[in-house]
Amino acid sequence: MLEKWESMLTISGEVEVDVHEWFQSLIEEMITRRFLPTGKNIHSWKRERQISKSFTKLIDGRKRKFSDGPKLKADEEECLKDIADSGL
């Protein structure tokens, strides 16, 4: 959008823009890029699900480890190692 405005610059460096038209165009682009099932969006949605599942698995594993009460420092170090190994 900014490139289009730059191409419309006059000698004085001003641009006259029909705001309604540009806002409508901007909203259409935002909706299209976010909600329509394009290849890029499908890939992005799949990644979001994978990340969410990974976090859920990690959290559930920690809940199981610490559900028996306070643990030793070795357990804390093991959790930190798990985080480092998972790349999170």
Query: Would you say 58 and 88 are in contact if contact means Cβ atoms under 8 Å apart?
Result: yes
- Rounded to two decimals, the pTM is 0.44
Please tell me the distance from the alpha carbon of residue 15 to that of residue 6, in angstroms, as a whole number: 8
Instruction: Give the residue from 25, 86, 30, 75 showing the smallest Cα distance to 53.
Output: 86
Instruction: Give the pLDDT of residue 40.
Output: 85
How do residues 10-39 score in pLDDT, each as one tens digit? 777 787 778 888 889 889 888 887 788 888
Question: What angle, rounded to 10 degrees, do the helices at 73-86 and 39-66 form?
Answer: 170
- Which token pair is 62? 């920690």
Cβ neighbours around 19 below 10 Å, total: 7
- Note the pLDDT tens digit of each residue in 51-81: 999 999 998 988 887 776 655 666 677 777 8
